[in-house]
Amino acid sequence: MNAIKKITSGRDTRTIVMDYLIITVGSALFALSINWVFAPLNLVAGGFSGLEIIIKHVTKGVMAGGIPIWLSNIVLNAPVFIAAYALRGREFVGKTLYSAIASTFFLWCIPMWDPMNGDIILSVIYGTVIQGVGCGLVFTRYATTGGTDMVGSLIQIYKKHWHMTTVMAVLDIVIVIIGAFFFGLRSGLYATIAIVGAAFVAGRIQEGVRFAKAVYIISDKEEEIAEYIENELSRGVTYIDAEGWYSKTHRHILYTVINRKELGLLKFMISCTDKKSFVIVSDAREVFGEGWQKQEKELY
């Protein structure tokens, strides 16, 4: 945590403002998915938001429409953040507190609406994408929306051998089971799909959208291929020394990172130059540095 604090201490005001702007947009999308998709259809997709949907349902006899989701969000998150501040300190709470406040605000101001008119399949698809993108944006700024994420981190203080993702998964499963008890198995199964889908989308956003391909090439025509990559594709090439285990022959492995469009050109060139070449292509989820993302740009 001190390392992150040291890194972020030198960041300029514009970057900090951008961080909070992105967290705000992500929190708004998260709240939108709740008020326009999950709450209207009673889909308890884990997390505190799932508990809040249940609370709203069971308290309809207490007050008209039940206790609002935004109010439950405050009541559930407040003690968790107080405990997190006491046990982990101000730096740990940080931006997550802002995200939780922003999410609560948008849960309050965005009206309940079912734009899909009860079409649960379309609702799950779009709700999953919207929530995944929202959470992913928040994650890219080293924050969360609070809730079970924060609870999981507190539990881990006392159960250090428990993996964070496992703790959160167990909490989500328990909440989905409670939701299925109130709203039926069908609703619980759709909610499970939404949890998995949103986690996948959020992960993609968090890992970065600057997708590229890492290519390893073993060829007798290494000079020709390297010159093509450098001169025609304008990409850097690295020689990696290698030796065949069986033949004991010393070889060079060419290593380069290119975009998807360039991959087709490179494969065609290699097939025309050396049909006996050996090529490995793998995904590079995010690439930054010279030739890709400007070095002077913040990396997070």
Same domain, 142 and 248: no
CB 35 within 8 A of CB 112: yes
What pLDDT is stored for residue 296 in this prediction? Answer: 40
**95 and 133 belong to one structural domain:** yes
pTM (two decimals): 0.74
Q: What is the pLDDT of residue 200?
A: 87
Q: What is the pLDDT of residues 246-288, one digit of tens each?
A: 888 888 899 999 887 788 889 989 988 998 899 999 988 777 7
d(Cα 45, Cα 35) in Å, to the nearest integer? 13
Question: Where a domain ends, among 207, 235, 270?
Answer: 207
DSSP H helices, 184-278, are 185-207, 222-231, 260-273
| 215 neighbors 256 (Cβ within 8 angstroms) | yes
Token pair of 272, please? 């025309």
**Amino acid 163: pLDDT:** 65
Q: Using the 3D structure, point to which of 176, 192, 207 is the last residue of a domain.
A: 207
What number is the average pLDDT over the span 100-105? 94
Give the mean pLDDT of 224-244: 90
Percent of the chain with pLDDT over 70: 88
The answer to whether the CB of 133 falls within 8 A of the CB of 205 is yes
Span 30-70, pLDDT tens digits: 999 999 999 999 999 888 999 999 999 999 988 888 999 99
∠ CA 129-132-22, nearest 5°, is: 115
Burial profile 110-135: b = 16 or more Cβ within 10 angstroms, e = fewer: eeeeeebeeeeeebbbbbbbbbbbbb
Per residue in 135-149, pLDDT (tens digit) is 989 888 878 888 887
**Residues 8 and 146 placed together within one structural domain of the fold:** yes
Query: For residue 240, is pLDDT > 70?
Result: yes
SS3 80: helix
Tell me, yes or no, whether 111 lies in a domain. Answer: yes
**Other residues' Cβ atoms within 10 Å of the Cβ of residue 228:** 18
Question: Domain containing 260 — which CATH number?
Answer: 3.30.70.120
Q: Note whether 211 and 285 are within 8 A (CB).
A: yes
Tell me how many domains the chain contains: 2
In this structure, the answer to whether residues 32 and 138 fall within a common structural domain is yes
Looking at the fold, whether 168 and 264 belong to one and the same domain comes out as no
Domain holding 176, by residue range, is 2-207
In the predicted structure, residue 300 carries a pLDDT above the cut 50:
no
How much is the mean pLDDT over the chain?
85
Residue whose pair of structure tokens reads 């002077």 in the numeric block: 296
Q: Which of 89, 120, 102 is nearest to 25 (CA)?
A: 102
Q: Do the strands 250-258 and 212-218 form a parallel or antiparallel pair, or are they unpaired?
A: antiparallel
Specify the pLDDT at position 31.
95
Whether 292 is in a domain gets the answer no
Q: How many CB atoms lie within 10 A of CB 298?
A: 15
Work out the pLDDT band at 98, boundaries 50, 70, 90.
Answer: very high
Mark whether 203 and 217 lie in a shared domain: no
User: What confidence score (pLDDT) does residue 292 get?
Assistant: 61
